[in-house]
Amino acid sequence: MCYSGSATILTTAISFVVGYIGKKKLTLMIFAMSTSAGIVLLLIKIPLLSILIFIIFLYISFILGNMNTYLVELNPTHLRGMATCLSVVVARGFGFISVQIIAELLAEHCQLMVTGNVILLFSGLVVSCFLPSDQSKSNKQTHLPSADLPDQLSETPQDLNSIRSTTSSALESSLYIVNVNYDKPSVLVIKA
């Protein structure tokens, strides 16, 4: 009950702070926390403290939300559903197999089981270092020269339509930002 309650509170907190911290940093932090808890778990001999460290070691499950987000972002639109489905199926399959292995190893070979999990977590930490950064792709920006603009600009929609008609048809799906200076008007075009 203590694990479930703390996991619920921490998962809710993570969902609120992921926008501020960033997915990659949060992923690295969770992997580092669980890996270090696993290493401490191998070295500690106090039974009550080892239970607490083992609970922290299991908090690697907080990474699943970020991993699914990366699956959606890194795959093309027509493959996103299949990529997410395959990852969930593979994770459930390995989850079933790992529970069987853990059940066999936990009773007689506990240190070997924790060592194997620490190695897996460390490899996940190394792989997550190669995830793409959280910075969004910058939009391509084009400044149209003022010669392409009508002589007089105001803030009416008709003037924006005249600006749109004076630009090339290749820029039709772009966002127009009109900067009206008294000296020299300009248009900033952001391609989608």
Q: How do the domains of the chain map onto residue ranges?
A: 2-128, 140-191
Reply yes or no on whether the pLDDT at 9 is more than 70. yes
> Roughly what angle, to the nearest 10 degrees, separates helices 110-128 and 23-43?
160
Report pLDDT for 180: 53
b/e per residue 42-54 (b: at least 16 CB within 10 A): eeeeeeeebeebb
State mean pLDDT over 15-35: 91
State mean pLDDT over 63-83: 85
Q: How far is CA 47 from CA 53, 62, 80, in A?
A: 10, 25, 45
Report pLDDT for 166: 53
Q: How far is CA 156 from CA 159, 165, 192, in A?
A: 6, 15, 23
Q: How far is CA 168 from CA 153, 172, 180, in A?
A: 19, 7, 20
Rounded to whole angstroms, the Cα distance separating 104 from 23 reads: 35
Reply yes or no on whether the pLDDT at 45 is more than 50. yes
Reply yes or no on whether the pLDDT at 143 is more than 50. no
